[in-house]
Every structure is written in structure tokens, then in C-alpha cells.
Chains A and B, each alone.
Chain A
Amino acid sequence: MSLDPLLLSRLQFVWVIAWHILLPAFTVGLASFIAFAEGMHFMTGREVWFRISSFWIKIFSVAFGMGVVSGIVMPFQFGTNWSRFSVATANIISPLLAYEGLIAFFLEAAFLGVLLFGRSLVPRWAHFTAALMVAAGTLFSSFWILSTNSWMQTPAGYEIVDGRFYPKDWIAIVFNPSFPYRLLHTVCGFYISTAFVVVSVGAWLVRRGEFIAEGRQMLATTLTVLMVLVPLQIVIGDQHGLNTGEYQPAKLAAIEARWKTETPTPLTLFAIPDEANATNRYAIDIPLLGSLILTHSLRGAVKGLDDFPRDQWPPVIFPFFAFRIMVGVGLLMLALVVAANLLRRGGRLYRRRGFLRLLELSAPLGFIAVIAGWVTTETGRQPWTVYGLLRTADSVSPSLTGWNVAVSLAGYMLAYLVIFPAGGLVMSRIVRRGPEAMVSEDAAVESGRPRRPVIARPAGRAEAVARPAETGGAP
């Protein structure tokens, strides 16, 4: 059997980014939630916010650590496996990635230490500021990485000289046509993913009956936010789809499995796309709806794949099904959120154990939608790395052999299969312990100085000092 370095490199990229994307999908929203909880505690002084914040900070620190180490892998993938892509596009995308590092990563990293460990070392406002800075860092990071990704989808502001891209207009590059939609759609999706995790944990705390105040507060806040975000996300997604139809028509055709241009266009709810014969099997079509949704008019035409050369077709089956999973999960979320908010009136929600149980199961929904959406947009971009301009096949490092990449892929698979389940276990253990009964008085030292003089601790005594802390007391 011969190993194809191109195919294996693609699989490797899929593997490392699919796992990695789960972490920002969680931490971007969670950083904002923590900043909100810190802010509420700072402003209202209510202890429940302090316990909620401290609880989620612990979970955040695990997820963020995993996000950092799996994220460092990413820029190196460009060099190790995609060196021809890197040399061709460096003039355009490298500053965007560099700005992500300069603006976002350093901000997050520097303030994260204070957020995690500094509560007893800095005044309360400084701790709140640290939470805000970490949240801002995650959003800046999203901005730049999605600008980079969007430029690969809808390149703009460039010229090509000797097979390499050169910048002509930086504003056009950064704010390329699909960027505003992708940024809003993705960040909104990340917030929703986090909110469903918080909802799930909150529901569990209420049902368990041990930390009811914290659980109720988590539910009340996130369900309110979701009531806004989920419908908003559907509107943004619709706008994003119009943008795709305009700038990446072949992708839209693949998402909807439209083989021929038809006016008006039906909407295929379900089918088994048959790429070899360019047709759909077992299709359930609704007439006119395709035109209505995809062009916002009853007569609009959606370009079919037969308008494009065969060697420029995306692998239809991936965007087609991934998109349907994403939309299906989105509608399920909408139903859940509407039902939960109706039940909240009069506090019925907190007594309905069956419904709470259902909410507990909702934690993975956001992640499924994020992964499905990402598969839709990235496989829909194929066979290009830079849409319409640079083929994936011409992007891979020429020096790599099949076994080189097979070894590295096996290494990444093994490592992630150890790390991610372990991280999940650690986080679920924190959840099971619940928000511990600590009060902010113990933790806050207003002067920013240690309470006790720092004394020399021989090894034996340090153990004695460390013990009470390990059993869960406040530092």
C-alpha cells in the first residue's frame, strides 16, 4: 500500500484542528461569562457570583491550558506540512497570524496567571480587570484567525506575482467579503456552545439540590442570553449563506446538492448525493423553498455544480450532510431554549426534574454544531486552500514522504486520545465537586500584599502548609 503524503497531511490537519476548535468554542464564551460573573460580584458584592466565578475559573484553567498546547501545534502545521502554501501566501496571511499572537495571546497569557492565581495578591478591581483582559484576548484572537480563514475562503486585496500573493490593500485583505459574517457567526456559535455547557451544569446542580442558588443563577443568566443569541444566530447564518452564494457559488451548490441550475430552485431536505452520476437519490425536495431561503426571492436561481468544471467540485457529501447536522442542531437548540424560558416563568423550570435532565444532556449540542459548521465551510472550500487560486494539492510540503506523515499523524492521534479524555475527566471531576463553599473574604487581600510574612519553609514544613489547601480550603 502506498501512503499519500497529501491525503495524510489533510487528515492530520483535520485531526489537530478538529480537537483544537472544541477548546476555543468553549473558552471564548467562558472567558466572557467569567468576566461577567466577576463584574457582577465586584458591583453587587453578592457571594453567589463569587462562587460561580471561582468554580468556572477552575474549569476554564483546564480548558485553556489544553487550548494553548493544542494551539501551538497549529502554526507549525503550516510550516511542516503545508510549506508551499506558506511560501505562496506568507505576504498576506502571516501578519494576520502575527497580530493574533501579538494582540491576543500575550494579553491572555499575562492576565491568565493573575486570574487563576492572583486573587489573594491583587486588589479586587485588578482581578476583575484581568478577567476582562482574558475575555478581550479570546475575542481578539477570534478576530484575527477568522480574518485569516476568511481570506482563504474569499481572497481580496492581493496581486499574484510569480506564483506568490502580494498585498495591495490591507483593509480589503483583513475585511475580506466573508469575514464579517464568519466572525459574527463563529463567535455567536462559540458563545452558544459555552452557554449550553453552563445550562447543563446549572440544571444538574439544581436537580442534585446541593448548590441550588448557584445552579439557578447560572440557568437564569444563560437561558436569557440564549433566548437572544440562538434566534440571532439563525439570522446571521442566513446572511452568511447569502454571502457564500455570492462569493463561493460552488460551495453553496455542494451544500445544497444542486447539480444543475434550476429556476426556481427547490430545497432538498434530505438525499443521498451521488457524485459519480451528479444526481440525488432518495431526495425529499420542497419546491420554491431553495430560491426563497438562498436568494430571498421566489424566482432566484442557485447555480448548480454543472456550471463549474468537474475538477473544481467540492466533495459534495461532506458539506451537504454537515450543513444539515448543523441546521438540525440549531433548530433543536431553539426549541429547547424557548421551552426552558417558558418554564422559567413562575419558577416551574426548577421543579421539572425530567426537563432539567434534558437540559443536562444539552452540553454537547454547541460543539456538534461548531464542528459540523466547520466541516461545511472547510470541505466546501475544496479543492482549494485559497479559493479559486491555490489548490490543496499544490500546497503540501514537497519533501514529505507518506511514512513521514503517517508517523506524525499516529503521534498526534495517540497524544490527543490521551490528553482530551483526560482533560474531560479532570473537568467533570471539578463539576462533580461543585462550587465549593468559600467566601470572598478569605480570598481577597485588598492591599495586594500577602497576609502572612513570607517565611522560609524547609521541605518538611512546606508539606504541612500545603496540605490544608489541597483538601479544598480557601487559599
Chain B
Amino acid sequence: MIPQGPIDFVPIWTLILGLGVFFYVMLDGFDLGVGILYGFARDTASRNLVMNSIAPIWDGNETWLVLGGVGLFAAFPIAFGIIIPAVYFPILVMLLALIFRGVAFEFRFRDAPNRTGWDHGFCYGSLLATFAQGIVLGAFIQGFRTDGTSFTGSSLDCFTPFSLITGLCLVFGYMLLGAGWLVLKMEGEMQDWARRLGRFAFIGVALAVIVVSIWTPIMDADIRRRWFSWPNIALLSPVPIITAVLAWAEWSALNRRRAEYGPFVAAIGLFVMSYLGIAISLWPMIVPHRYTLWQAASAPSTQAFLLVGTLFLLPVILMYTGWSYWVFRGKVRADIGYH
């Protein structure tokens, strides 16, 4: 399983998959967050606006989830074969929640003035899918019981106090991203409303991130050594410092009327730093404590075959995805979207 070919494709696949998963978290993150915030909207008109702010793009955003799942399968199949069965129930809940949330876009507008089951499906579906993803994240950091290339624990192992906290963390995080998006797409009263929800989400996210950041090194000796041994503690100190600066920027952008892009951009920045923090904690493991990226990798020929197309296709995808965002740029309009 150690690559025999002349080129080691593992680092580049790590980078591609890392970027793919990050794109998913950022993009579906904000639209799942918008889905959660949708539950707080007061009347039909604001619900229509909130939903139409993501209607043309949610499908593309969710496509990154398929890419993340299939990318893990393609680049690190042993990790896929261990992690996915281990988080059987969170994945189930996520998929079911995404189903109800996804069809709500289509079904709700046949009866928009009334708050129907589809409205609840959209909001609670977004909430449950996010929470389930957070549990997957927590379970992943904690690691899995394995034998060879199989997961041997129980399907309930993934529900721990730690994973419940990471679940909450992600809920507040996506809400913050969603609020940033709404500030960007809304005006006037609706924007003020989004700022208020953003401040609420920010406080939740700050508390949850602090808890997780203290808990993780206490729980895991490897991660403690990674961060607190000399000289790592000095080399890695920019991570918490930049995070703190970004947190301050987020808070002040949420409170400043003129900052339209600030809340969204700073929230993305906070996600980048958290993501980086997890990557630093776990590197070079893909199944913590058990398999490194290299041990879990697929055959070099597989990685090469897929790389050829990916290097060509990813820029093209980013280009036309960018174009579709460009078409729907600017403030959301009441007359574009479902009706």
C-alpha cells in the first residue's frame, strides 16, 4: 500500500480532498445555516426572501458533499471503509434530513403563504443535517475501533459527550455563516434581523470552540504534544492569535451597519482557522491513531487516473460555478426564484 510509482500522489490528493471538503463546509455550510435561520423568519415575505437567497445555488453546494464522500472513497478507500460504517446513524440522519430539506425548496412554494410541514422540514432538516455532520466530525477526531480494514465497534460508539459538543459547535458555526450570507443578500430591516441572529450565533460558536479547544488536548495525548511541546507551541501560536483577531473582526462587522461583506468573509476566515487547527492536530493520520494518509491511500494508478481529469475539471467547475453565482449576484429580489 506504500506507493511504488515514481511520483507520490498522496500529498496532492490530500490537498484536493482537503479543499473539496472545505468547499463543502463553506458552501453548504452557509446554505444549511440559512436553513436553520429560516425558522426564525417571521412572515411569508421574509421566508420567501430567505429561501430565494439560496434557491439557485443550494444544489451546486450540496454537490460538494458527493465529491467529498466519493473523493474519500477514491483517494483513501480504507478510511472510507472504516469511517463511514462507524458513523452509520449520523450519516443516516444527515441523509434523511437533507432529503426533507432539499425537497422543501420545490414543495413549499406550492403553498407558500401557509407555514406547512415543508417549512418545518426545511428548518429542522437543515438543523439535523448540520448537527449530524458535527457528530461525524467529533467521532472522527476521537478515532475508531478497528481490525484490519474494518470498523469493529458498535454503531452507537460515535455518540459521545465530545461529539455532541462538536455537533453544537457546527450548528452555531453554520448559523454564523448563514447570517453572514443573509447580511450580504438582504437590505434594511431584514439585514438588521440577520445581524442580530449572527451575533447570537457568534456567541454560541465562541463558547463551543473554546470548550472543544480545551477538551481535545486534555482527551488526546498526541494532540496535546502536537500543540504544547517545544518548539511547536511557538511555531503554532499564530493559529490561536489569528483566530482571535478574526473573531474580533467578525463581532465588529456584525455590529457595523456599513460592513456588508465583513460578517460573511470573517466567518469563512474562522472556519479556515478551525479547519487548519483540526488538520494540524491529526496530521498525518486519516483514521486517527490507526492509518496514515499513505497507508489508507488507493493504488497509485487509481490516483493518477483520477488526477488527470481532476486537474483539468476542477478549474472549469470553479469557473462555471462562479458564473452561476455571478448571474444571481446582488441583493435577493422577490421576483426571481420560486413562486
**Interface set of A (CB-CB < 8 Å, partner B):** 61-62, 65-66, 68-73, 75-76, 78-81, 83-84, 86-87, 90-92, 94-95, 97-103, 105-114, 116-118, 120-122, 166-167, 170, 397-401, 404, 407-408, 411-412, 415, 419, 422-423, 426, 429, 450, 454, 456-460, 462-463, 465-466, 469-470, 475
A68 in contact with B57 (CB, 8 Å): no
Chain A residues with Cβ below 8 Å from B298 are 90-91, 94
A83 in contact with B85 (CB, 8 Å): yes
A456 in contact with B188 (CB, 8 Å): yes
Chain B residues with Cβ below 8 Å from A398 are 150-152
Question: How many residues on B have C-beta within 8 angstroms of the other chain's C-beta atoms?
Answer: 84
The residue that B59 contacts in the complex, of A79, A109, A404, with Cβ under 8 A, is A109
A105 in contact with B103 (CB, 8 Å): no
Chain B residues with Cβ below 8 Å from A61 are 106
With the chains together, A475 CA to B63 CA distance in Å?
A: 28
**Interface set of B (CB-CB < 8 Å, partner A):** 42-46, 48-49, 55-57, 59-60, 62-63, 65-67, 69-71, 73-74, 77-78, 80-86, 88-89, 91-92, 95-96, 98-100, 102-103, 105-107, 110, 112-113, 149-155, 187-190, 298-299, 301-302, 305-306, 309-310, 313-314, 317, 320-321, 323-324, 327-328, 330-331, 333-337, 339
Chain A residues with Cβ below 8 Å from B328 are 113, 117-118, 121
> Closest CB-CB distance, A272 to chain B, in whole Å?
39
A166-B301, A399-B152 given as contacts; is B46 within 8 A of A90 (CB)?
A: no
B339 in contact with A475 (CB, 8 Å): yes
B57 in contact with A397 (CB, 8 Å): no
With the chains together, A399 CA to B42 CA distance in Å?
A: 45
With the chains together, A118 CA to B337 CA distance in Å?
A: 9
With the chains together, A114 CA to B81 CA distance in Å?
A: 37
Given contacts A86-B84, A454-B331, A458-B189, 20 further A-B pairs with CB under 8 A are A62-B106, A66-B103, A76-B84, A78-B73, A86-B80, A90-B77, A95-B74, A97-B74, A105-B67, A106-B313, A117-B328, A122-B327, A400-B155, A407-B92, A419-B103, A426-B106, A462-B45, A466-B44, A469-B334, A475-B339
Chain A residues with Cβ below 8 Å from B333 are 450, 454
A73-B95, A94-B70, A466-B334 given as contacts; is B299 within 8 A of A102 (CB)?
A: no
A98-B306, A450-B333 given as contacts; is B66 within 8 A of A113 (CB)?
A: no
B77 in contact with A91 (CB, 8 Å): yes
With the chains together, A70 CA to B113 CA distance in Å?
A: 27
Chain A residues with Cβ below 8 Å from B309 are 99, 102-103
With the chains together, A34 CA to B190 CA distance in Å?
A: 37
Chain A residues with Cβ below 8 Å from B103 are 65-66, 69, 419, 422-423
Name which residue of chain B comes closest to A109, CB basis: B60
With the chains together, A353 CA to B85 CA distance in Å?
A: 56
With the chains together, A100 CA to B305 CA distance in Å?
A: 14
A415 in contact with B99 (CB, 8 Å): yes
* 27 CB-based A-B contacts, threshold 8 Å: A65-B105, A68-B62, A69-B99, A75-B70, A79-B91, A90-B81, A91-B299, A94-B306, A95-B74, A102-B67, A106-B320, A110-B317, A121-B327, A397-B150, A399-B155, A404-B155, A412-B96, A422-B107, A454-B330, A459-B42, A459-B46, A459-B189, A462-B46, A463-B43, A463-B44, A466-B44, A466-B339
> Closest CB-CB distance, A457 to chain B, in whole Å?
6
With the chains together, A392 CA to B80 CA distance in Å?
A: 19
With the chains together, A465 CA to B49 CA distance in Å?
A: 11
Among B57, B73, B314, max chain A CB count under 10 A is at B73
With the chains together, A83 CA to B88 CA distance in Å?
A: 11
A95 in contact with B60 (CB, 8 Å): no
A457 in contact with B334 (CB, 8 Å): yes
A166 in contact with B299 (CB, 8 Å): yes
A113 in contact with B60 (CB, 8 Å): yes
> Closest CB-CB distance, A13 to chain B, in whole Å?
14
Chain B residues with Cβ below 8 Å from A415 are 96, 99-100
> Closest CB-CB distance, A177 to chain B, in whole Å?
20
Chain B residues with Cβ below 8 Å from A412 are 96
> Closest CB-CB distance, B100 to chain A, in whole Å?
7
A459-B46, A462-B334 given as contacts; is B110 within 8 A of A83 (CB)?
A: no
Name which residue of chain B comes closest to A422, CB basis: B107
Chain A residues with Cβ below 8 Å from B73 are 75, 78-79, 86, 90, 94, 97-98
A101-B66, A114-B327, A121-B328 given as contacts; is B110 within 8 A of A429 (CB)?
A: yes
A110 in contact with B60 (CB, 8 Å): yes
> Closest CB-CB distance, B301 to chain A, in whole Å?
5
With the chains together, A80 CA to B150 CA distance in Å?
A: 12
A102 in contact with B310 (CB, 8 Å): yes
With the chains together, A120 CA to B113 CA distance in Å?
A: 24
With the chains together, A109 CA to B66 CA distance in Å?
A: 12
Name which residue of chain A comes closest to B67, CB basis: A101
B154 in contact with A399 (CB, 8 Å): yes
Chain A residues with Cβ below 8 Å from B78 are 87
A466 in contact with B45 (CB, 8 Å): yes
> Closest CB-CB distance, A417 to chain B, in whole Å?
12
A117 in contact with B56 (CB, 8 Å): yes
B110 in contact with A426 (CB, 8 Å): yes
Chain A residues with Cβ below 8 Å from B105 are 65
A423 in contact with B96 (CB, 8 Å): no
B81 in contact with A83 (CB, 8 Å): yes
With the chains together, A331 CA to B100 CA distance in Å?
A: 38
Name which residue of chain B comes closest to A121, CB basis: B327
Chain B residues with Cβ below 8 Å from A404 are 88-89, 155
The residue that B188 contacts in the complex, of A62, A408, A458, with Cβ under 8 A, is A458
Name which residue of chain B comes closest to A103, CB basis: B313
Going nearest first, the 4 A-B pairs with the smallest beta carbon separation are A79-B84, A90-B77, A113-B56, A94-B74
Chain A residues with Cβ below 8 Å from B334 are 457, 462, 465-466, 469
A102 in contact with B313 (CB, 8 Å): yes
